[in-house]
Structure 1
């Protein structure tokens, strides 16, 4: 139990953080809504605006459908083949795209599927006149499947592995055919988590920015976020940007509302505690099909990653590392990423602490219960108001004070903090709650509270998840292009912006080398953040 003083301090810090986040987001939204509102209706009902909205929803719907439909057989194959050679490494490979900077993934896909890529070169040798296009709708769909198929496969695999082992024993004793196993066991498990998985991927595709910016290929393949960026960066048309941003907020709000109405995944049923043993799929055709699904999906994910490595090695890495442009961009990136990561940790701990203070109240009441739910949902505001929309709102606010570039670094850092907040909360909240359950009685019996409890009990245990969350927040900030896209200039050049500028000026060799260097930096940070976890788990 927390002392009265601890409850008050944690509650106060949580309310301060909640107020700051709502003011930051609310000011951006208010700036959008208050700018030349008389011209907005005509901006809403234009053929251009509705074409952009239709394409945004179309590419998100197709990307979600393809990701889920292709992920389902991969997840079922992995669930049926627990002894498949290298299975654990294949599952780990599926986590790489989720932590990979989007711009690097896009370059890897260009290396495989681009006009001069491996696939098109092979097709040309076979005599095909029209190679696969990586740009436009086809390229966007391909990139979204690359990033979202592994996410869907991992979530569906987890749902299948939660099923009771008795289901498989019973299906074997009844001699169920493969289709019956799918219809009566696998599909019900997938169906329980499918709405949440599809909703998450749909939201990620609707708010996709970097992939569409790099692979969109022109006005015919532009989403709302990219159109907002173009309206401000190239055309400087604030009313059009505001209309598009309002549509973006309304669209994401509807999607989030639908996701909240989706049923929960439920449980896997009652189990007697037997070890999982799959007795289905023993026929040769079934083994061949599962092997084909696993190997194909692995190659689909591994080839762009290998392309990044091979193409990057062809560049003059030493010249790039020692160049003034790289050093300046690296310094700027770290100068933004480190404070943003520290702020993300502090904000997350303040939210978690405030929710703990409310939970420790004897009679929290309806208002406090509602406030706890609001604190928990605060981290997902970035899904409702994406970075480009936040940047647009604050661009309109800051331009009245003079040169926006002078505020750009601080603004990008705050937006990156909000971007990382949902992921950091997922790392820290379970760790803090588990630690609290294990040590609350001990700390109370020893009379430890405040700083003494923090240094002697909390930090020694929570240092590892805090380091993991901080490294992940830094990686997200280092690889972000969306927040800096509106403000990138000679005065504010981050590593992703440097890669994109080299790509835009057709200096592909330099872009590949810079992408490899950025990938190595992110990989090192990830390894530092997770160092020692295997030893702690098995030691």
Structure 2
């Protein structure tokens, strides 16, 4: 009996992690299902507002995907062909843009494209007038391109750089043109990731909340996420919120299924490791085209970040920093983000531990655990938050435990990112050292302390940094559960923007951006740095 308990010591840890993952989803789905009888499904066919919300959600996501991916392909090719001063800095800025809080990016776009922004100021000096074009579909597209252009560019650029040097040498010997380079060498590699990247960008834009909430500009520019929030917090129409949540759940599931179908791995022939410079770097037309797309990337991504930094240093700087409310909101954002990241790491570790112990004896269970992280992408944050609100409101004061619910939701929704970072190195480590650990009877804490922590420390720190950064910038779940007395930095900044406190919002945006970057860099570099 003692041997059995010792052999299955991992079961309790993995079981608790699995319970923490499944319980919020099952609770939310059960609560949504309890309102099924009160839903009038005919409204989806007869109500023009609901039809418009669904249509606009799909339409803005489609346009955002086409623009982001369409610009990412030539921008990736320009970065692959050109090596210029500042290239590495530009790629680092693209990486930073991935973790910038959405409300901060929105403020940067207001600084650049708002009615009193840089673009309108330039046009006014030239006696031109562009009017107010930021609020509505145009602003939503600009914000989505800001986030998704760097993401798509980094993925496509990595694939372009995987073209074997031997292929470039052969292309040079055959005298291929730039178009032939693209059609015969680069496009076959880009095509492998183009459809999965498009599906990912579409899903991110479809479930966008903070961007649409801030820049939507009225009922004609409302998505399902915003409509769910309005149904719960403004109208308290719980059957409508349930109906919209189920519709979004169905559509997100379809998007995930398409992403999995389109994301089949493709075998790539290995390279001999030779170094070869691309033969198409000296053509003047290519230089002009690449320069144009590099300039577009700078304007769309770097300019809003610059606007946030410059606008944050204003005359109200010290007054806002002396506000106790700002630092209380910063503390709430910080402890929620760090707690969510640690809880997410615990859940991911438990699932990977269960997968390692079951993949030989019960392969089906290991397959279920492997897909569990991706399934969490089906349920958007606001849908999960709405389900938990409906389930808990009869038992506890939801708004009294709002930050704990925000922490739980963010930890569960961060699981796909944590698993993506940890799974491959963890399973590779297990494959290499399982027999040695068994022979040394190294299990549990000893295995983690002397083997897994030293080797997997960089991967764990990266996962913690990603989840914490996303949690700090979260506005959707916080807006659903937030109260006037309990705020986070994104919610405080959104309220200041809504009350036309532009200078205070600018300083708050800079503080939020700084805190997000400090947490990301601190966790990735500080925790992940190996000791000599």
Give the TM-score category using the shorter length: over 0.9
In 1, Cα distance between equivalents of 2:408 and 2:338? 12
Identify the match of residue 521 of structure 2 among 527, 530, 534. 527
Q: 1:309-344 CA deviation, whole Å, 9 max, x = no partner?
A: 111111533332331211221232233223222211
Q: Flag the 1:315–1:14 CA change in 2: closer, same or farther, 3 A.
A: farther
* Structure 2 residue aligned with 1:415: 409
* Structure 2 residue aligned with 1:95: 95
Q: Please say if residues 106 and 214 of structure 1, whose CA atoms lie closer than 8 Å, have aligned partners that are also in contact.
A: yes
What TM-score does the superposition give when structure 2 sets the normalisation length?
0.94
In 2, Cα distance between equivalents of 1:317 and 1:527? 25
Q: Please say if residues 228 and 382 of structure 2, whose CA atoms lie closer than 8 Å, have aligned partners that are also in contact.
A: yes
Deviation at 1:6, TM superposition (A): 6.5
Q: 1:396-454 CA deviation, whole Å, 9 max, x = no partner?
A: 12222253212322211110111221112222223323443454454345443332333
In 2, Cα distance between equivalents of 1:265 and 1:442? 31
Asked if residue 426 in structure 1 is aligned to residue 420 in structure 2, the reply is yes
Deviation at 1:509, TM superposition (A): 0.9
Consecutive aligned runs of 4 or more in structure 1 exceeding 4 Å deviation: 3-7, 532-537
Deviation at 1:488, TM superposition (A): 1.2
In 2, Cα distance between equivalents of 1:68 and 1:511? 31
Q: How many residues align?
A: 529
* Structure 1 residue aligned with 2:274: 274
In 1, Cα distance between equivalents of 2:349 and 2:528? 25
What TM-score does the superposition give when structure 1 sets the normalisation length?
0.93
For the aligned residues, what is the CA RMSD? 2.2
Q: Please say if residues 178 and 281 of structure 1, whose CA atoms lie closer than 8 Å, have aligned partners that are also in contact.
A: no
Q: Please say if residues 142 and 300 of structure 2, whose CA atoms lie closer than 8 Å, have aligned partners that are also in contact.
A: no
Q: Flag the 1:513–1:332 CA change in 2: closer, same or farther, 3 A.
A: same
Deviation at 1:4, TM superposition (A): 7.0
In 2, Cα distance between equivalents of 1:15 and 1:532? 31
* Structure 1 residue aligned with 2:332: 332
Deviation at 1:240, TM superposition (A): 1.3
* Structure 1 residue aligned with 2:501: 507
Q: Flag the 1:142–1:426 CA change in 2: closer, same or farther, 3 A.
A: same
* Structure 1 residue aligned with 2:244: 244
Asked if residue 55 in structure 1 is aligned to residue 49 in structure 2, the reply is no
* Structure 2 residue aligned with 1:181: 181
Deviation at 1:5, TM superposition (A): 5.7
Deviation at 1:51, TM superposition (A): 0.8
1:150-189 correspondence runs (5 A): 150-189=150-189
Q: Please say if residues 7 and 357 of structure 1, whose CA atoms lie closer than 8 Å, have aligned partners that are also in contact.
A: no
Q: 1:497-518 CA deviation, whole Å, 9 max, x = no partner?
A: 1011111111111111011011
Q: Please say if residues 249 and 378 of structure 2, whose CA atoms lie closer than 8 Å, have aligned partners that are also in contact.
A: yes
In 1, Cα distance between equivalents of 2:135 and 2:182? 37
- 163-172 or 433-442, which moves further after superposition? 433-442
Asked if residue 496 in structure 1 is aligned to residue 497 in structure 2, the reply is no
1:79-158 correspondence runs (5 A): 79-81=80-82, 83-131=83-131, 133-158=133-158
In 1, Cα distance between equivalents of 2:454 and 2:265? 35
Deviation at 1:535, TM superposition (A): 7.3
Q: Flag the 1:438–1:384 CA change in 2: closer, same or farther, 3 A.
A: same
In 1, Cα distance between equivalents of 2:241 and 2:197? 30
Deviation at 1:19, TM superposition (A): 3.5
1:434-449 correspondence runs (5 A): 434-449=428-443
Q: Flag the 1:462–1:36 CA change in 2: closer, same or farther, 3 A.
A: closer
Asked if residue 207 in structure 1 is aligned to residue 207 in structure 2, the reply is yes
Deviation at 1:390, TM superposition (A): 1.1
User: SS of 2:393's equivalent?
Assistant: helix
* Structure 1 residue aligned with 2:26: 26
Asked if residue 192 in structure 1 is aligned to residue 192 in structure 2, the reply is yes
In 1, Cα distance between equivalents of 2:4 and 2:264? 36
- 85-94 or 189-198, which moves further after superposition? 85-94
Q: 1:358-414 CA deviation, whole Å, 9 max, x = no partner?
A: 23x3xx2xxx22221221222234321111111111211222225321232221111
In 2, Cα distance between equivalents of 1:303 and 1:323? 29
Identify the match of residue 466 of structure 2 among 449, 465, 472. 472
Deviation at 1:210, TM superposition (A): 0.6
In 1, Cα distance between equivalents of 2:315 and 2:492? 15
Deviation at 1:306, TM superposition (A): 0.9
In 2, Cα distance between equivalents of 1:264 and 1:36? 36
In 1, Cα distance between equivalents of 2:112 and 2:124? 14
* Structure 1 residue aligned with 2:9: 9
Q: Please say if residues 351 and 375 of structure 1, whose CA atoms lie closer than 8 Å, have aligned partners that are also in contact.
A: yes
Deviation at 1:533, TM superposition (A): 9.0
* Structure 1 residue aligned with 2:390: 396
In 2, Cα distance between equivalents of 1:237 and 1:89? 48
In 1, Cα distance between equivalents of 2:276 and 2:102? 36
* Structure 2 residue aligned with 1:72: 73
In 2, Cα distance between equivalents of 1:465 and 1:396? 36
- 179-188 or 152-161, which moves further after superposition? 179-188
User: SS of 1:41's equivalent?
Assistant: coil
Deviation at 1:167, TM superposition (A): 1.6
Q: Please say if residues 338 and 474 of structure 1, whose CA atoms lie closer than 8 Å, have aligned partners that are also in contact.
A: yes
**Structure 2 unaligned spans of 5+:** none
* Structure 2 residue aligned with 1:300: 300
* Structure 2 residue aligned with 1:451: 445
Q: Please say if residues 460 and 528 of structure 2, whose CA atoms lie closer than 8 Å, have aligned partners that are also in contact.
A: no
In 2, Cα distance between equivalents of 1:48 and 1:405? 30
Deviation at 1:200, TM superposition (A): 0.4
Q: Please say if residues 113 and 134 of structure 2, whose CA atoms lie closer than 8 Å, have aligned partners that are also in contact.
A: yes
In 2, Cα distance between equivalents of 1:533 and 1:26? 34
In 2, Cα distance between equivalents of 1:265 and 1:469? 23
